[in-house]
Homo-oligomer: A and B are copies of this chain.
Amino acid sequence: MASSMNNLGIVKRNIVRADKAAVAKLAKFGVATIHEAMGRVGLMKPYMRPIYSQAQICGPAVTVLLQPGDNWMLHVVAEQLQPGDVVVAACTTDNTDGFFGDLLATSFRARGAVGLIIDGGVRDVADLTEMKFPVFSKAISAQGTVKSTLGSVNIPVVCAGAVVNPGDVVIADADGIVIVAAANARIAADAAAAREANEGDKRAQLASGVLGLDMYKMREPLAKAGLKYID
């Protein structure tokens, strides 16, 4: 992580975003598939929910660390956005205030951002839904925020229990949010593709009535573990 003790008040301008082709490939898969394909790392906590039911996001992370009740740094982060970016906003403490609304969404979209992940609250959700600007948050709240205290932009953050480095790929859908390290984007996309191909065959077998017990050859290990059938 940061080598200096105090990482507040810093904006890092140049970050290495994950490979575009890998990001595009990851966008085809669901969060559960990618999380499995990666060996189950990088998942955010399940309290994070989309503001509308079809919300989906995939893109490289631009990170921001907020102070409670203060959205100043969301204006600072806007300038660092490039087309396709996803803003990942952490907070120094638990806070559900409405840090983000339709004006910031308008600005983020004008810069090309494709969504927001925020470990805090969001407001103007009817407008955001109409705009189809996807946001995953831990709360919806009309409570406004001030612009008084510095956080940072593009430092590593812990957001909803997951470490996010700037440039990492963020994938979000109805099942949650997963972070793929930029260096792993290609291999994760390939692994997800392999897993999904594999799932199609399993689904067909299960649909035809084959049991997972047989398809996965579980009967022997279950018996060894001591499973007993009684009538």
Binding site for B on A (CB under 8 A): 1-3, 5-14, 30-32, 35-36, 38-41, 43, 45-46, 49, 67-70, 72, 75-76, 78-79, 92-98, 101-104, 106-107, 109-111, 121, 123-126, 129, 139-144, 146-150, 156, 158, 161-163, 165, 173-176, 178, 180-181, 183-184, 187-188, 191, 199, 202-203, 206-209, 211-213, 216, 218, 222, 225-231
Residues from chain B with a CB closer than 8 A to the CB of A70 are: 69
Q: How far is the CB of A87 from chain B (nearest CB, A)?
A: 13
Given contacts A69-B93, A104-B212, A107-B207, 18 further A-B contacts (CB under 8 A): A3-B181, A3-B183, A3-B184, A5-B181, A32-B98, A32-B101, A35-B142, A40-B92, A43-B142, A45-B94, A46-B141, A67-B69, A75-B212, A75-B218, A76-B213, A93-B97, A143-B176, A148-B149
Asked if residues A207 and B69 are in contact (CB atoms below 8 Å), the reply is no
Asked if residues B72 and A69 are in contact (CB atoms below 8 Å), the reply is no
Residue in B46, B76, B146, B222 whose beta carbon sits within 8 Å of that of A143 in the complex: B46
Residues from chain B with a CB closer than 8 A to the CB of A9 are: 225-228
Residue in B7, B106, B208 whose beta carbon sits within 8 Å of that of A203 in the complex: B106
* Given A107-B206, A107-B211, residue A173 in contact with residue B69 (CB < 8 A): no
* Given A144-B35, A163-B1, A187-B5, residue A72 in contact with residue B158 (CB < 8 A): no
Number of copies of this kind of chain in the complex: 6
Asked if residues B147 and A158 are in contact (CB atoms below 8 Å), the reply is no
